[in-house]
Amino acid sequence: MKSTRIKILSSLLVVSMLITLVSCSDNFLDLTNQNELNADNFYTKIENFDLSLNATYDAVKNLDLFGQTFYVQTLLALPHESDYWNAGNRNEVTSIDGNVYIAWRGFYRIVARANDLIENAPAFEASGKATADQVVQLKKMVAQAHFLRGFAYFHMVRLWGEATYKEDSARLAVPLILKVATNNAEMMVPRASVGKVYQQIIKDFEAAEAGLPDTWDGSNIARVSKYAVKGYLGQVYLYMEEYQKSKTYFEEVFNSGLYNLLPSKNYDDLFQGKAEFSKESLLEINYTVDMQQNIWENGLGSGIALVLAPPGRGWSNCTPHGLNIFRFGTDPRLKICTYAPTDSAMDSDGKMTQVGKSEFNFTGHSFRKYVPKDYCVLATNRNSGINYLLMRLADVYLMYAEAMNKLGDDPTAQEYTNKVRRRAYGFAPEGAQPTVDFSGLSGTALRDKIREERFLELFGEGHRWYDIVRWHIVQEEVEKYNTYNKTQGTIIYNDKDYYYPIPLREVDTNKNMKPSTGY
């Protein structure tokens, strides 16, 4: 159990809250209960703004997105980190694909809830009902809502944008919805360009950066902080290929003194729920084992482990692609990322036993990140309490290395790559280690090493698809996975594989929505 956490509402409670917001105008007595939440009085108390913000955080963590479906069916599938039988793993995604719609629905749920809070805040501040302390509190809430909206659009522009920002910012991405619709016509929002979506992301992140504290106290530790936002701004500018701006933000994170890589002995703890909100974490999603409600009942746990866990410990039907096992070679991070058949983990009877060979993996390996070793999710109401890391310092180091390589400072780029490698191989991040360090590399040769280091370090953390898209190497990457697979069949590459299709139901219901090119 966790001793510090933000109180995030479950989706079930959110639905209940929304139902109570609907006023009943044809009640035959037409009486109003002043103690009952409704559309007119909900945003008249600071406590209800906090409920609304918690609901927005909840939209990030729920089953649709990082609680299971989006992570498994999109982030692991598209870059073929996993071997699975869904359309993403086969490169056969269509506009009627249910997983595409679930991702769309999940991210626009974040946007809708953030918009509601942002739009209602000015009236409460001007009403005279808010104390000075509440105004300060409200501004922090609005800043968090701006971050969460920008966070959703950052994912969406990278999923549905038909080109990268640098390649062609005029290509179409997704609708920019920045206010609560009051009628049907306002819901008919056309797709915005990649460039406009990126500019809105920057506006939202800058608003968050300006309004957030450097750190939070223990009871609010899962909230986004100013330096987490700076990390995301650095990432956004990296994706836009504006490397000098990216460098500046990453260095602000480093110079804050708030973060460091965990020692090698604690490296595995990051993904086993034993180093939550550590010095390495910029932002993570908070989960806990929930013995009252499981993941389908909108409980507080994560459903990732249920899908990925080894035989007898979960479904064990989504496994690491066999090619990835060989790609790690002798790198020690393979043991962090996967269970070999001879590794041990707790079974459903509470015994530590060998996990055995998964029938859906070429080598029998199973995923290990976010899959607990010390308990079995079949015995914990099918959910895991391991937090999901959205951004950690090792990722920032490697993004910084990439930016410095692009800016021509190869010695710095090489050193920050080596910091990550040293920790992975059991050494302190600082100080040369000739047995594992890269040396004498520059230009394209160093660039390729940084890219492969991102594969090794961040495997199974949801970054790979976005990386290979922005590097324009989707075809050469995905076609490697026609060997050593068990379930997905032959991958056939098409240019449209660089982006998701707009869901057909959105095209059918929004007269201003253009379908994605090629779909």
List, for residues 466-490, the tens digit of each pLDDT value: 999 999 999 999 999 999 999 988 8
The answer to the question of residue 400 being in a domain is no
Please give the structure tokens belonging to residue 290.
Answer: 């929930």
The answer to the question of residue 69 being in a domain is no
The answer to the question of residue 72 being in a domain is no
- One-letter amino acid at 479 equals E
pLDDT tens, residue by residue, 159-198: 999 999 999 999 999 999 999 999 999 999 999 999 999 9
Among the ranges given (64-68, 281-285, 358-362), the one the predictor scored with the smallest mean pLDDT = 358-362
The answer to the question of residue 382 being in a domain is yes
**Pairing of the two strands 82-83 and 366-367:** unpaired
Q: What is the DSSP string of 400-442?
A: HHHHHHHTT-HHHHHHHHHHHHHHHTTS-SSS--TTT---S--
| Main-chain phi, psi angles of 503, to 5 degrees | -55, 140
Taking a C-beta distance cutoff of 8 angstroms, is the pair 93, 77 a contact?
no
Q: Which of 257, 280, 468, 465 is nearest to 391 (CA)?
A: 280
> H or E element: which one contains 339?
strand 338-339
The answer to the question of residue 30 being in a domain is no
**Pairing of the two strands 191-193 and 344-346:** unpaired
pLDDT band at 36 (very low <50, low <70, confident <90, very high): low
3-state SS assignment for residue 319: strand
How many folded domains does the chain comprise?
1
The answer to the question of residue 345 being in a domain is yes
**Residue 29 CA: distances (Å) to CA of 23, 33, 41, 369, 502:** 13, 12, 19, 57, 46
| Domain span holding position 381 | 295-386
pLDDT tens, residue by residue, 201-221: 999 999 999 999 999 999 999
**Pairing of the two strands 319-320 and 82-83:** antiparallel
Mean local confidence (pLDDT), 1-22 = 39
Helices (H) and strands (E) in the chain, counts: 19, 10
Q: What's the whole-model pTM score?
A: 0.93
The answer to the question of residue 315 being in a domain is yes
The answer to the question of residue 299 being in a domain is yes
pLDDT band at 35 (very low <50, low <70, confident <90, very high): low
